[in-house]
Structure 1
Amino acid sequence: MGLENIRHSARIGLTALIVAVGIPASAAAETLADAMASAYESRGLLQQNRALLRAADEDVAVAISGLRPIINWTANATRTAQRFRSNTTGGSIVTNSATTASVGLSLDLVLYDAGRTRMGVDAAKEAVLATRQALLGVEQNIFLQVVQAYMDVRSATEIVALRRNNVRVLTEELRAAKDRFEVGEVTRTDVAQSEARLAASRSALVQAEGDLAVAREFYAFAVGHRPNRLAPPAPTPSSARSLQDAKAIAMRNHPEMLRVKHAVAAADINARIAKAQEAPKISLTSRIGLQDTVGNNNFSESASVGIEMSGPIYQGGKISALQRQAIARRDAERANLHEVRANIAQNVGNAFAQIQVARAARDASQRQIRAAQVAFRGVREEATLGARTTLDVLNAEQELLDAKAGLITATSNETVASYSLLASMGLLTAEHLNLNVKQYDPAAYYNMVKTAPTRMSKQGQKLDRVLRALGKQ
C-alpha cells in the first residue's frame, strides 16, 4: 500500500510540475506592448523630460528675439516740494511744490555684433536637437524597465506556482512515507528526510512569494499600475543579423550618440561666440519722450535717433578666461564623443553575448528537463522495487524542479536580453516598436515657438491654450 501511495503522489507531482510551467493567456491578459504603452502615457519621468525639451525650444525663441528691435516704455510721476529762505525773499520762508509726469519710448536694434546673436540661435538649435535625443534615451530606459518588470512578474508567478505545487507533492510524499513507516517498509530516517525536504520547500515558497511581491511593486512603478494577468511576450522585433551590423546601426541611431554629436556642435559654436566677444557692437537707438508739469503750461518733448558703437578695451582678463573656458568645454564634449562611441559598442557586444548565453541556457534547461523527467520516472519505479531510497526519489524530484525553474529564468533572461539589444542599438522606441499610442511629436511645440511669437499674436494665444492643456495633464 505504501509503495502505491508514493507512486501515485510522484505521478501527481510530475504532471502538476509540467502543467505549472505554462500560464494560459486569456483574451483579457495584458501584453508587453500594452504595458509599454501604459508607461509611455503615464510615466512622470517622460513628462518631465518633455517639459525640459519645451524649455529648450524656448531658448531658440529667446535667442531669435535678440535679432529684433527691442522696444520699451517708461512712465514716471514725481512730486517735489521745496522750502527755503533767501535774501531775495526778504528773510521770509517760501514753500514751493510741483508735480511732473513723463512718458517715453525707446527702441534698440543690434546692427552688428560679429555674428554673436546669430551664432547664439544656432547654438540654441543644437541644444534643442540634443535634448530631443536625451528624451529618446529616457524613453528607451523606461521601456527597458517595463520589459524587465514584465518578465520579472511572469517568471516570479511561474516560480511561485512551481513552489506551491512542490509543497503539495512533498506533503503527499511525507504522508506516504509515514504510512510506509507504519507498516515497516521504511525507517524513521526516511520520514525525517521527507519532513526536512517539505520544510525546505515551504521556505522556498515563502521566498518565491516575496520575490513576486517585489516584482509586482516594481511593475507598478515601471508601468503605472499593478499587474493582473500577463500574456506571454510576443516575438522580439527584428534587430540585426550580426554583431557588426548591430554596432553600425547603433552608431547611426543611438540617442546618446546623436545627443553628444549635437552637444559637440553647440560647444563649437559657443567657442566661436566667446571669440567674437572681442568684436565691437553697433546698435541703432531711438528715444521719444514727453514731460509735463501738472498745474501749469510747462512741458517738453524730445526725440532722438542715433548709432551707438561699443566694445571692450579691458575687463580684467574676463573675456580671455571665457574664451579658454569655451574651448575647454568644446574639447571635453569631443572627448566625451569618443567615450560614448566606445561605450555604445561595448553595450551592443554585451547584449549580443547575453542573448547567446540566454539561448544556450534555455536549450540546456530544456534538455535537462527531458533528462530529469526520465530520471525521475526511473528512480520512482526503482523505489517501488526497493532498489532506491526515499532520499533518491526526493533528489530526483528536486532536480526536475530545479530544471523547470531554470527554464523559466532562462526564458525570461532571453526576452530581456533581446530588448536590451534593441536598446543598445537605439531602436527601443515607441516608433520602432509601433506601439498603439499617440506618439509625442518633439517638433510640434518647437514649430510653434521657433519664430518667437508674442502673447498678443494669434500664435501666442494658441501657445497659451497649449500650455493650459499641458498644465491639466
Structure 2
Amino acid sequence: MGRTRLGSLGAALAFVATLAAPTGARTETLADALVSAYVNSGLLDQNRALLRSADEDVAQAISALRPIIDWTADISRDFSRIRSLARTRKSGTTSANIGITGALLLYDFGRSDLLVEAAKETVLATRQTLVSVEQLVLLTAVQAYMNVIRNQEFVALRQNNLRLLREELRAARDRFEVGEVTRTDVAQAESAVALAQSGLATAQGDLTRAIEEFREAVGRDPGPLQTPGDLPGLAGDVSAAKSVAVRKHPDILEAQRNVAAAELNISAAKAAMRPSVNLTTRLGVGENLDDSDFTRSGSVGVEVTGPIYQGGRLASEVRQAMAQRDSQRAQLHLVGLQVKQDVGNAYANLRAARASRDASREAVRAAEVAFEGTREEAKLGARTTLDVLDSEQDLLDAQANLISANADVVIAAYSVLAAIGELTARELNLSVPTYDASAYYDLVKTAPVPISPQGQKLDKVLRALGKN
C-alpha cells in the first residue's frame, strides 16, 4: 500500500466546496490545521517529556558501569573523664578527616549490560507511544476540522431554510387574504417558521461547540475553512492493509519492544543471583587539631561479593520478571488482534460513509425535484400548504444528510490511515519540522557530566526546552 501524503494536496484532495468568507481572505486547508495541531499540542509535549525521561534511564543504567567516586569529611571531638585513686583526670582531642573512595564494577555476569539493553528497548517502546499519540492528535484535528465545516454548513442550510419558510408564510397569508387557503394553512406555515428558528438556534449552538473543540484540538480559532474531498490512494484490499498495519503500527511496535525489554529483565534478575567483582580504592587524610599528629592512608583492592540468602527476594524477582514477560507477550497478541480489527472497522466505516454519501446525493436530487413539483402543484391548488412544508422538510433532511456524509467520508479516510499507522506528520508530508525522537537520546546516552563538552551542549538544550 503506497503512502498517502498531504504534501500533494493539489492532486490528492479535490476541494469541492468553500464556505462563505470575506473577499480576499485566505482560506485554510486541512493541512494547515494539521500543522497547527502538531505544533500546538500539549499532549505531544507531555509525551515528548516522558520520552526524554526514558532516555535518562539509559544514562542511569550506563552509569553503573562507570567508576563511582565519593568523598567524605568529618570532624570530631573525643573527650573522657577518668576517676582513679581519688583523682579525676580529663582529656580531649579534636581530629579532622577527609577521604576519597572509589569503586569500579569489573564483572557481574552481564547484569548491568542487560539492564542497559532493557532500558534501550524501553526507550524504543516509548518512541512508538509518542507516534501513537501523534496519530491521535492529528485524527482529533481532522475530526474537529470537519465538524466545524459540518456545523457551518448546517447553519447556512438552516438559515436558507428559514428564509424559504418565511417566503412560504408570506405567500400563505397572501392567499388567505384572497380566500385561496384557510387559516389552518397559515398556522401550519407559522409553525414551520417557528420550528426552523429553533433548528437554526440549535445549529448555531452546535457550531459554537465545534469551534471550541477545534480550538482545543488545533490550538487556535478556525479561519475560513475549505471543504476537502475524499482521500485518494487508499487501496481497497483490507487484507493487505492489515499486513501493513501489523508491520508498522506504533502500538504493535511498542508491544514488541516491551516484550524484548521483559526478556532482558529476566536475564538481569538471574544475573543478580551471581557474584560481582569490584575494584575498590580509598585515600584518607587525618589531622589532630590539638597537636601536630596526622595520618595518611590509602588502599587498593579487589572485592568479590555475592548473595548467600536474601530471604527469597532474588528468586521472587526472577519469577516476577517472567510473569511480566508473559504479560507483555499476551499484550502483544491482544494488540495485534485489536489493530487488525481497527483496520477492518475503519475500512467498513469508509465504505459505509461513501455509500451513504452517494445515496444522499441521489436523495437530494430527488428531493429537489419533488419540492419544486409540489410547490408548483400547490400554486395550481392541487397540493396543500402542508404538502409543500413536508416536501421542503424532506429536502432539508436530505441536504443535512449529505453534509454529514461528506464530512464522515473524510474522517473515515483519515481513520483508515490511523488504523494502518500512517497518520503522522512525516507520512503526511506536513510542512512542519518533525520532532527528532533520537536527538535528546544521542546527547544523554553516554551519561555526560555537566562539565564535559557533551554536558554543556546538553545544558543548552535543557535551557531551550525550559523556555518553550
Please classify the TM superposition score into its range, dividing by the shorter chain length.
over 0.9
Q: 1:237 to 1:125 in 2, by over 3 A?
A: farther
Alignment-derived partner of residue 326 in structure 2: 331
How far 1:241 sits from its partner (Å)?
A: 4.0
Q: Distance in 2 between matches of 1:181 and 1:56?
A: 78
Q: Deviations over 1:25-50 (max 9, x none)?
A: 76512211111111111111111100
Q: 1:242 to 1:220 in 2, by over 3 A?
A: same
Alignment-derived partner of residue 12 in structure 1: none
Q: Distance in 2 between matches of 1:97 and 1:43?
A: 68
The percentage of aligned residue pairs carrying the same residue is 55
Alignment-derived partner of residue 8 in structure 1: none
How far 1:269 sits from its partner (Å)?
A: 0.6
Q: 1:424 to 1:359 in 2, by over 3 A?
A: same
Q: Distance in 1 between matches of 2:131 and 2:194?
A: 49
How far 1:192 sits from its partner (Å)?
A: 1.2
Which amino acid in 2 is paired with 1:39? A
Q: 1:366 aligns with which of 358, 361, 365?
A: 361
Q: Is the 8 A contact 1:239 1:246 kept in 2?
A: no
How far 1:94 sits from its partner (Å)?
A: 3.7
Alignment-derived partner of residue 131 in structure 2: 136
Q: Is the 8 A contact 1:32 1:234 kept in 2?
A: no
How far 1:409 sits from its partner (Å)?
A: 0.1
Q: Deviations over 1:102-144 (max 9, x none)?
A: 1111111111111110000000000000000000000000101
Give the unaligned 5+ runs of structure 2. Answer: 1-16
Say which SS state the counterpart of residue 157 (structure 1) adopts.
helix
What is the correspondence of 1:18-33 to structure 2 with a 5 Å cutoff?
23-24=19-20, 28-33=26-31
Q: 1:39 aligns with which of 18, 37, 46?
A: 37
Say which SS state the counterpart of residue 438 (structure 2) adopts.
helix
Q: 1:382 aligns with which of 368, 377, 382?
A: 377
With the length of structure 2 as denominator, give the TM-score of the two structures.
0.93
Alignment-derived partner of residue 320 in structure 1: 315
What is the correspondence of 1:425-436 to structure 2 with a 5 Å cutoff?
425-436=420-431
Say which SS state the counterpart of residue 71 (structure 1) adopts.
strand
Say which SS state the counterpart of residue 301 (structure 2) adopts.
strand
Say which SS state the counterpart of residue 226 (structure 2) adopts.
coil
Q: Is the 8 A contact 1:376 1:393 kept in 2?
A: yes
Q: 1:176 aligns with which of 171, 186, 192?
A: 171
Alignment-derived partner of residue 217 in structure 1: 212
Q: 1:118 aligns with which of 88, 113, 119?
A: 113
Give the unaligned 5+ runs of structure 1. Answer: 1-20
Q: Is the 8 A contact 1:108 1:283 kept in 2?
A: yes
Q: Distance in 1 between matches of 2:31 and 2:84?
A: 93
Q: Distance in 1 between matches of 2:201 and 2:245?
A: 43
Q: Distance in 2 between matches of 1:239 and 1:288?
A: 70
Q: Distance in 2 between matches of 1:169 and 1:239?
A: 41
Q: Is the 8 A contact 1:170 1:197 kept in 2?
A: yes
What is the correspondence of 1:337-416 to structure 2 with a 5 Å cutoff?
337-416=332-411
Alignment-derived partner of residue 266 in structure 1: 261
Pairing 1:455–2:455 present? no
Which amino acid in 2 is paired with 1:31? T
Alignment-derived partner of residue 244 in structure 1: 239
Q: Deviations over 1:34-79 (max 9, x none)?
A: 1111111111111110011011011111111111111111111223
Q: Is the 8 A contact 1:83 1:95 kept in 2?
A: yes
Say which SS state the counterpart of residue 442 (structure 1) adopts.
coil
What is the correspondence of 1:272-311 to structure 2 with a 5 Å cutoff?
272-311=267-306
How far 1:96 sits from its partner (Å)?
A: 2.9
Between stretches 405-414 and 231-240, larger displacement belongs to: 231-240
Q: Distance in 2 between matches of 1:239 and 1:309?
A: 63
Alignment-derived partner of residue 7 in structure 1: none
How far 1:438 sits from its partner (Å)?
A: 1.2
Which amino acid in 2 is paired with 1:246? A
Say which SS state the counterpart of residue 228 (structure 2) adopts.
coil
How far 1:237 sits from its partner (Å)?
A: 6.1
Runs of 4+ in structure 1 deviating by more than 4 angstroms, as ranges, are 24-27
Q: Distance in 1 between matches of 2:90 and 2:319?
A: 62
With the length of structure 1 as denominator, give the TM-score of the two structures.
0.92
Q: Is the 8 A contact 1:22 1:158 kept in 2?
A: no
Which amino acid in 1 is paired with 2:27? A
CA RMSD of aligned residues (A): 1.4
Between stretches 281-290 and 146-155, larger displacement belongs to: 281-290
Q: Distance in 2 between matches of 1:185 and 1:23?
A: 40
